[in-house]
Amino acid sequence: MSELIIGSRGSQLALWQANHIAAQLTAQGHSTRIEIIQTTGDKITDVALSKIGAKGLFTKEIEEALLAGTIDLAVHSAKDMPTDLPSGLILSAFPERQDPRDAIIGEMPPNAIVGTSSLRRAAQLKSIRPDVDIRDLRGNVGTRLRKQAEGQYNAILLAAAGLIRLGWQDRITQYLDPAEFVPAVGQGALAIETRDDGGKGHHAAAKMDDPETRACLTAERAALRALGGGCQVPMGAHAILENGILKIHGIVVSLDGLTAIRAHAHGPAADAENIGVELGQKLLQAGARL
C-alpha cells in the first residue's frame, strides 16, 4: 500500500493522537508519515481563545493542507472541530471515545485561583463556585500542569482524556460528573478528517470508525449546530448510548455563571442527528442564546 501522510498539530498531545492513529493505519498495512502543521490557535498564545473569535482556530491550516492534497488525513481533537466543514472535506472516522469528563488538578479552597482557557468550564464553575477567581490559562497540557505545580494557580481544569493519553492521570485530583458538569461537544474523542473524494485516506480512516462514538458525536454536534455556536461558547453536551437508545443532555451557561439552562432528549441511535437538533431547540426555547 502507498504511504499515507497524516496532518497534525505539533503539541505533545496532538502528536500522541497522530501516532495512535498512525499505529492503527500501520496495522492495516499502510506506511505513514506525520506532517506537523502550525495552526492559528498555536501561533497566538498570549490572548484568551474567547477573544480571538474565529472558528477553526486549531483546524483551518490543517484543512487547507487536506484540500491542497499535501496530506491524506488529519487527526483532530473532536471538540476543536467546527460544526460546519469546508466543502470537499468529511469526518471519515470517530474512533472509540476516551473519557469525556473534565478533571480538576489541585485544590479549590475558598477564593481559589483557578486556571482554564474554556468559557464553558469557567461559566459552569462560576455557577457552582462563585467565590473562585478564574484566570485564563493557555499552553499545552504540560505547560498548564507546570504552571499549577509552580503555584500560579490553586487548581486548573483540563479534559481528563488528554491527561490519560499522556499518562498523567495521577495528577487528577477529582473527576467531574458529566451529568452535572457537562463536557464540551466531542470531548474525549478524536475526529479523522479526509477529503470526500473516496480516496485512500477516506477508506483507511473509515475502518477506524466506532459506531457508538459516531452516534453520540453526531447528536452532540447537531445540538451545537442548532444553537448556532462554535467551539468558544459556554455550552456543553454529552450523549451516551444504552441498549440502542441515545440519551443526550446539554447546558448553556451565562458568562457570569448566574444562569444555567439545561435540557435532555433521547431516541433511537439511528436518529442521532434529529435527537441533537431536538436538544438544541429545547435549549433555545428555554431561553438559551449563543
First to last CA, the chain: 46
User: Of the listed 80, 102, 133, 256, which one is catalytic?
Assistant: 80
Closest CA to 94 of 262, 241, 281, 264: 241
Q: Cell for 281?
A: 431547540
DSSP state of 79: G
Q: Cell for 47?
A: 490572548
- What own/partner pairs with CB < 8 Å and gap ≥ 24 does 44-47 have? 45/138, 45/139, 46/138
Alpha helices in the chain (DSSP H): 12-28, 40-43, 49-52, 60-68, 119-128, 141-149, 160-165, 200-206, 211-227, 272-285
Q: What is the Cα–Cα distance from 264 to 248, expressed in whole angstroms?
A: 6
Q: What is the Cα–Cα distance from 100 to 239, expressed in whole angstroms?
A: 10
Q: Report whether 282 contacts 267 (CB < 8 A).
A: no
Active site residue 170: no
The CA radius of gyration of the chain, in Å to the nearest whole number, is 19
DSSP string, 21-61: HHHHHHHHT-EEEEEE---HHHH--SS-HHHH--TTTTTHH
DSSP state of 180: T
Catalytic residues: 80
